[in-house]
Structure 1
Amino acid sequence: MKTSYAIIIQAAVWITIWAVFSFTGNTADRLPGFYLLNTLWVLGFIVFFNVFHRMLLPIFFAGKKMLFTGMVLLTLTGYVAYSVVIDINFRIPEKLSAEARKEVRKKAQVPLEYLIIPSIFLGLMLFGAAASVGGLSAFEKKKKSEEEANRRRLEAEIALLKSQINPHFLVNTLNNLYVLSLTEPEKTPSGLLKLSEMVSYILYECAKPMVPLALDIEFIENYIALQRLRLPPNAHLQVDLPSVVPQEIEIEPMILIPFIENAFKHGLTTKTSCELLVSIQLRGKQLTLEVKNPVLPPKPEQSGNPSGIGLANTQQRLEHSYPHKHTLSIHNDGQTHVVKLQINLAP
């Protein structure tokens, strides 16, 4: 498609140049040979331009400067020779009356420099035009190549972050389920069923760059249902999730769950009363997540990294996947830890 488009553009340019040469000025006394001359001129333009643009510029970009210079000089010499031959055989006779043509055909009477210098000048102009077009094409190609490389790099980074989050999440969930099996074994089968659904989501949906928001919220519901099985009596959990989510709205998978997981991991205790809030609001394609949990003294194994790898990686994923389309606020006053995240999910 791009090659066909370039051919059409070139054809339009050359036809326009031929028309300007042929039909501007006083055309009343022009003979048929005049139009043949212009056709030969434009054909010379086309050949020289494309030889330089398509054959010689790649030699230059390949770093073969000496070969490029020699080929340019050779091509320019060939173009000048072609122009001089056309001038001698077509242009000069057309400029004179029929009676004077025989005399002018004596080529020795025409100073050769009058033919060579304009041809060199015109050849250099074509050289500059071809170099400009080739340089612009090379710049655009390099720009697209860099953009593609950056896109692939970002995709690789996101894939790495997601691959780190999934095992991290599963390890935490399995630990919770293990504790549940020891303390309340009758709840373990229900927990295993929820975990099975969550693992299925991770295996079959999280490999995709985007998933329906409805599926991600269903995953969150399963996670919260699993956490309810182990809530201590002193814990109060408030959950507010959208009941209806349009199927066309998509989100990057598992980008919300680390904030929710963090609240359960660091906000539950059996020693004092604790209140947790998980709220997801959807207005149009503007999603708002709010998570609140009490601030508790860090456990010894958590003192070095209280937030865990999941939360840190999620912030990086937000920067990669939703640049300038999200706001994240994390506030900790020593009593309550509050996360507020807004994401514009419009494509």
Structure 2
Amino acid sequence: MKKHKTNSFKFFGLIVFFILVLVNDANSKMIDNPITIIGIISIGLLFTSIVASKFFKKYALFTIVFYVLSLSYYIYLRVYIDDINVYLQQEKEIKIILTIPFFLLILGWFFQQWKWMKTLESKKTKAELSLLKNQINPHFFFNTLNNLYGLTVEKSDDAPNVVLKLSDMMRYTIYMAKEDFVSLKDEVDYLKNYIELHKIRYQKKVDIQFTYSNLSDYQIAPLLYIIALENAFKHGAEKLTENAYIHIHISTNDGVILFEIENNFEKPRSKQDFGIGLDNLKQRLQLLYPKKHQLIIESTNSVYKFVLKLEAK
């Protein structure tokens, strides 16, 4: 009441006005008393102007002009002609005409609120996606830069190749990842560069197989697969001293994109091992592919398998 004192007084005034209209109508012996009709319409419009003031102002002129004309015709039939039979012949039509604009205002206001809520929801979703993208894989670039420094000190022939691939990855992350969707081919190229950089780092043999086909016509949200691939290296190849493998396969069929990755590891993984990575991915999938994705994660006998099915957009 204290916070909205002005509106509180307005509502109180409307209640008093409404009571006076009802009392007048009860004491009147006239059918469809013009004072009652005009009073009720005025109360409805005033109530709308208080509850949805900005919306009402947009259509106030049109509404007032409409009611001036329609009420003038109503008063002409009901008072000026003063023939109840003539009025009763058009009673239903007149009441419909007088009622429809008020309900249109109410429906219009609810539709505006619905659009506003949808806009807020969309902005919230985009903000969440932006935050989740920014959480992806930042330490990889720092580790690669450290490795690059070591290669340059050693004057290794691999240094220029590392610079080129890291540059391509950074360009993709900074520019392409801002898009809602990218081509599946670009996403595969990003994964290939990531794999090649890791191959240069390792001094041991790792069986890495990456197979894919029919990618050109499909679109996908960027940076969805990198978390699973990063985990395969982090928890598998980097910890195993021998016989490490990572097998990746991407296939497409009838609008469905299937991504599979399998790797072996030394010790059973715990949920804590993933950090924010897997949770990040699950949140993005819920936001981008609600009810249009299937995520399967299996870990048995030192073999970890990650399967993600997406309905392409």
Conserved? CA contact 1:206–1:253, under 8 Å = yes
- Counterpart of 2:289? 322
User: Normalising by structure 2, what TM-score?
Assistant: 0.70
Matched, 1:273 2:243: yes
Which residue identity lines up with residue 52 of structure 2 in the other structure?
Answer: A
Matched residues in 1 for 2:243 and 2:163: separation? Answer: 28
C-alpha displacement at 1:156, in angstroms? 1.0
* 1:229 lines up with 2:200 in the alignment: yes
Change (3 A) 1:322 1:274: same
Cα distance in 1 for residues equivalent to 2:283 and 2:168: 27
The residue aligned with 1:33 is none
Q: Which residue of 1 aligns with 2:252?
A: 282
- Measured after TM superposition, the shift of residue 276 of structure 1 is 1.4
Aligned counterparts of 1:256 and 1:296: Cα–Cα separation in 2: 23
User: What one-letter code is carried by the residue in structure 1 that aligns with 2:133?
Assistant: K
Q: How many pairs does the alignment contain?
A: 263
Measure the CA separation in 2 of the matches of 1:83 and 1:250.
61
What residue identity is the alignment partner of 1:83? Y
Taking the aligned partners of 2:292 and 2:150, their CA distance within structure 1 comes to 39
Query: Equivalents in 1 of 2:270, 2:300: separation in Å?
Result: 18
Shift of 1:289: 1.0
Partner of 2:174: 203
Are the counterparts in 2 of residues 288 and 341 from structure 1 also a CA contact under 8 Å? yes
1:245 aligns with 2:190: no
Higher radius of gyration, 1 or 2:
1
Supply the AA of the counterpart residue of 2:215.
Answer: V
Structure 2 residue 191 is the aligned partner of structure 1 residue 220: yes
Q: Secondary structure at the match of 1:238?
A: strand
Instruction: Quickly say closer, same or farther: Cα 1:81–1:279, change in 2 above 3 A.
Output: closer
1:160 aligns with 2:127: no
Q: Does structure 2 conserve the Cα–Cα contact (< 8 Å) formed by 1:161 and 1:317?
A: yes
State the distance in 2 between where 1:267 and 1:260 align: 10
SS at match of 2:158: helix
What SS does the corresponding residue of 2:178 show, helix, strand or coil? coil
SS of equivalent to 2:125: helix
Q: SS of the counterpart of 1:271? A: coil
Q: Matched residues in 1 for 2:132 and 2:267: separation? A: 28
| Equivalent residues of 1:282, 1:288 under 8 A apart | yes
Measured in 2, the distance between the counterparts of 1:207 and 1:134 equals 40
CA 1:328–1:172 in structure 2 vs 1: closer, same or farther (change >3 Å)?
farther
TM-score when scaled to structure 1?
Answer: 0.63
Displacement after TM superposition at 1:320 (Å): 0.7
- 2:247 partner letter: L
Aligned to 2:122: 151
Alignment RMSD (CA, Å) = 3.8
Aligned to 2:227: 258
Hey, what does 1:101 align to over in structure 2? none
Q: Aligned with 2:130: secondary structure?
A: helix
AA in 2 matched with 1:329? I
Letter in 2 for 1:318: L
Instruction: Give the 3 Å change call, closer, same or farther, for CA 128–303 of structure 1 in structure 2.
Output: same
Deviation per CA, 1:93-133: give whole Å up to 9, x if none: xxxxxxxxxxxxxx7xx56x667788887654333322222
C-alpha distance in structure 1 between counterparts of 2:46 and 2:93, whole Å: 18
- Between the aligned partners of 2:103 and 2:89, the Cα distance in structure 1 is 21
Offset at residue 202 of structure 1 (A): 1.4
> Of 251, 258, 261, which residue of structure 2 is paired with 1:291?
261
Q: What does 1:168-179 correspond to in 2, within 5 Å?
A: 168-174=139-145, 177=148
Q: CA deviation at 1:173?
A: 4.0
Aligned-pair CA distance for 1:177: 4.8
Any stretches of 5+ residues in structure 1 without a counterpart? 1-47, 65-71, 90-106
Q: What does 1:28-39 align with in structure 2 at a 5 Å threshold?
A: none
Is residue 336 of structure 1 aligned with residue 306 of structure 2?
Answer: no
1:114 to 1:210, Cα distance in 2 relative to 1, 3 A: same
Question: Percent of aligned positions with the same letter in both sequences?
Answer: 27
Q: What is the SS of the residue equivalent to 1:306?
A: helix
Gaps spanning 5+ residues in structure 2: where?
1-37, 55-62
